Every structure is written in C-alpha cells, then in structure tokens.
Chains A and B, each alone.
Chain A
Amino acid sequence: MFGYVNINKPELKMKDFFKYKAYYCGLCKTLKNRYGRFGQMTLSYDMTFLIILLTSLYETETVREQDRCITHPVKKHDTLTNEITGYVADMNIALTYHHLMDDWQDEKSLAGLTGAKALQRAYRRISRKYPRQCREISESLNRLAECERQQENNIDVVSRCFGELMASLFTYREDVWENSLRKIGFYLGKFIYLLDAFDDIEKDTKSGSYNPLKTICNNETFETDCRNMLTMMMAECTREFEKLPCILDIDILRNILYEGVWTKFELINTKRNSEKGT
C-alpha cells in the first residue's frame, strides 16, 4: 500500500525489532507461497501492523521458522506465521487487485490490466472466502473515486472512504472486538489517506490532479494544520486501541501507533524545509 504504518526503529528494543522483522518476513513468505513472485511484490509494512495487532488481540498460535529468501540468500532468518498472516496476505492481494483495476480504468494503464489479470483467479477465490471484506473494499473504493471526480474538498468526507475500507480489513471476526477494531482501522485509514495527500500535494499541484488538501495548502499554517489533523486521527485510533486487552507485542504496537506513523511525515517536512532553505 503506502508504507506509512511503520516502526520507529531507534525507539524500539532490539528483540522487538527482530520480532517485527520476523512478522514482516512471515507475510512475505506467505505471499510468495500462496501467490507466487508477483504476490510477493505486493508486500508492505502497513499490513504487518495488522498482523501484529490481530495476533496480539486473539493470541493466535504462531509458528517460528528459519528461512532463506531472495533478498537475504546467505543468512537464514526468522519468520513468524499464523492463521492471521494468511488472512492479511489474502486481504493484501484483494487490495492490490482493486488498486490495479482502478489504474486500468482511470489511466488505461496496461501494467494495471496485466497485473489485475494475473491476480484475477486469486482474487475470485479470496472474494468467495471473504465476501464481506471484498464487497466493502470495492464499495469504499467506488465512493472514493466518486469523491475524487466531484473534487470533494471536505477532508472528512473524502478520507472516510479510505477509513471505511481499512475498517473492514481490521474486522477479522464479527465478535466483541469488532466495534473497536473497526474504529482503529477507520481512523488509521483516514490518517493514511491524509498523509498520502500531504505527501503528494506538490506533485498533484504541478500535474493538476485532484488533492483534497489543495484548498488549504497555500496557508501559512499548512504544515501545522496537517499535523493537527493527523494527530486527531491517531488520538481517536489509539483511544480505541487502548481499550483492547493487548499484552503480547504491546511495545511494538505502541511504537508504531505513537511514533512510527510519524516517521514519514517528519521526513517529508525535513525535505521540504531544506528545499525551501536553499
């Protein structure tokens, strides 16, 4: 997806860092085993967070294995996989499929069509297994496309489409935690959408593409305004998160939610401010 939901490495203990990596490698391996090399290419950090969150909440039995992989062929490294890794891998493919289809429909991108075709059979199988999630992904993306067509500049209205998409991925089961998971996903999704818009604002202004932040991006306080909005999203997200009885890997989860999610934002600001300076 975007890679915005990541860890803040310097703040993380070494053992937690290696555990995080093992979850990440576990997802990579599962994608490769289920969907081949092409599936493996869809790997992202955002989804690793979802694995750790659901594993912590449901305390799912996890298998630790030693593996070699293409990026680290010499040294063996740990992978952590469980039932949730499989679920998240499937969701990742479903998202990628829709994303590629959108690229084909919007920009007539041939790469998009080729990619979508390659995933079509896999997607059909996933949508039979998880009809609710796949339906919600498709509906949210349609609403998002509509907002973009209408040049919607109400940030809540447009970002909620992506929030709802994430909300549906986060509800692994329809049980007592559904409500909290939905909200965590919803506000994290709004956060991701906003941060992505913030990241793309210069590019979109230049190319004349839609960006929901266009109406405010020339304000003196643009950076602060965005920071405040992003903080609001994470405040609501963590407010729900803190209600869940997560104990396992809690330091990793809090590292991501309180620090890691800001890494990209700070990086963009540092880059922009140094460009302004020169």
Chain B
Amino acid sequence: MINNPYSVLGVSPSASNEEIKKAYRELSRKYHPDSYVNNPLASLAEEKFKEVQEAYDQIMKERENGYSGVGGSASDDSTEMSAVYNYLDSRRYREALDALDRVPIRSARWYYYSAVANAGVGNNIMATEHARQAVNMDPSNNEYRSLLNQIEWQSQRYQDTRYNNTGNGGYGGYGRNYGTGNLCCDLWCADSICECMGGDLIPCI
C-alpha cells in the first residue's frame, strides 16, 4: 500500500477520474523501461514506473464502490456455515458455492452468503436474486440490505451515466457525470441513499 497514491501521480485527491488517467499516462510514458535501455538510471526509472502503476491501481480500487466482500460472521453460524464464511473471507468463492450446496437449510443467512459467493464468481443475476431473498426473509438485517444496495447501486450508476449524457445532449458528458468528480461526495451520496433505504454502504459515516 502506498501512503499517498495521489502525490505519486502528482494530482489532488479531489481530481476527477479523467485527470487521474491523464496523469497516469504521462508518468508511465516518462518512466517506461523502453526509454531507459542502456541508461544508468534504468533501475531507478523502473522502480518509479512500478510505483506509478501501483498508485493508479490503488486509487481506482479505492474509488470504486464495489462489494467489499462478506461482513462479520454470525455467532450462531453452524459448522457448515462457518466453513462457508471462511471461504468467502478468503475470496475462495467457488469453494464457498460448493460448501453452500451441502447446507440443507436455506436460511436468510444462506442466501446472503450465496449472494456474496455468486457475485464473486460473476453470477450477477443469481447474486441479485439471492441478496433480495435474504432481505425478504430478514428485512431488519442491515448487512443483507447493504449488500443488496451495493449490488443495485451498480445498475443505478450505469443508468444515471446513460441518462445524464442524453439529457445534456452532448458528448463528453460521461466524463463529467461519472460521479460528482469527488469521491468523498459520491460515497457520501451513495451512503445516504443506502441509509435512507435502511442499509449502509460505509458503516463509519
């Protein structure tokens, strides 16, 4: 982890995604190993090149409001369900799905775990259905609701980007409207929306 990936790219943390991409392009061109063949600075440039790449990846990961994986395990999980939890926790989604298959009782928690595992392997239709099922079976559970909100938020983001663009009647609208340009603000908005509906995207706000 880089402490301040923004400073590596020489941009402010409030920079838009497009600005970050441009900064990344410039720096990775500047430090590209191909430009330093037979140059004494080659190893230094290579180090810098890797750092720029790492900083870029880190920012993009931080900025995406994706599923953060499974929350805490429930204290009343059966042995079978604890095994599923452990697979999910270490992102071994295929094994989690196999383990889920062997659990006879399909509780709300089963559907929740199944939604996380399915999302992890790319079965996004089943993930949505199972997250919804978990919420239907236990509407008071914030963890379930938060997962469903996170999943649905992606489709919402896509739709908003589409409509904002056509609404503005012009191109380049995507870049402008892909979020407010400010991560914190976006996250805060998304979190507020989720909270309105009873879920929570970022528990600490």
Partner-B contacts on A (CB < 8 A): 11-13, 16, 59, 154-157, 160, 163, 176, 183, 186-187, 190, 228-229, 231-236, 238-239, 242-243, 245-247, 250-251, 254-255, 258-259
A254, B154: Cβ atoms closer than 8 Å: no
B31 contacts chain A at the CB level, 8 A cutoff: no
B124, A156: Cβ atoms closer than 8 Å: yes
The 5 closest A-B pairs by CB, nearest first: A156-B123, A235-B158, A235-B154, A245-B21, A243-B60
**Per-position binary interface string of chain B over residues 116-136, scored 1 when its CB falls under 8 Å from any chain A CB and 0 otherwise:** 001000111110100000000
B94 contacts chain A at the CB level, 8 A cutoff: no
Number of A-B contacts (CB under 8 A): 83
**Per-position binary interface string of chain B over residues 165-188, scored 1 when its CB falls under 8 Å from any chain A CB and 0 otherwise:** 110000110110010000000000
- Which of A157, A190, A243, A246 has most B Cβ within 10 Å? A243
B57, A176: Cβ atoms closer than 8 Å: yes
A232, B122: Cβ atoms closer than 8 Å: no
B124, A254: Cβ atoms closer than 8 Å: no
Looking at the assembled complex, report how far the CB atom of A9 sits from the nearest CB atom of chain B, in whole angstroms: 13
B22, A234: Cβ atoms closer than 8 Å: no
Looking at the assembled complex, report how far the CB atom of A148 sits from the nearest CB atom of chain B, in whole angstroms: 18
Bound-state CA distance A208–B162 (Å) is: 37
- Which of B66, B154, B178 has most A Cβ within 10 Å? B154
A247, B128: Cβ atoms closer than 8 Å: no
Looking at the assembled complex, report how far the CB atom of A172 sits from the nearest CB atom of chain B, in whole angstroms: 17
Contacts of A231 in B (CB 8 A): 155, 158-159
A243, B64: Cβ atoms closer than 8 Å: yes
A232, B174: Cβ atoms closer than 8 Å: no
Bound-state CA distance A252–B119 (Å) is: 29
**Per-position binary interface string of chain B over residues 1-31, scored 1 when its CB falls under 8 Å from any chain A CB and 0 otherwise:** 0000000000000000110011011000000
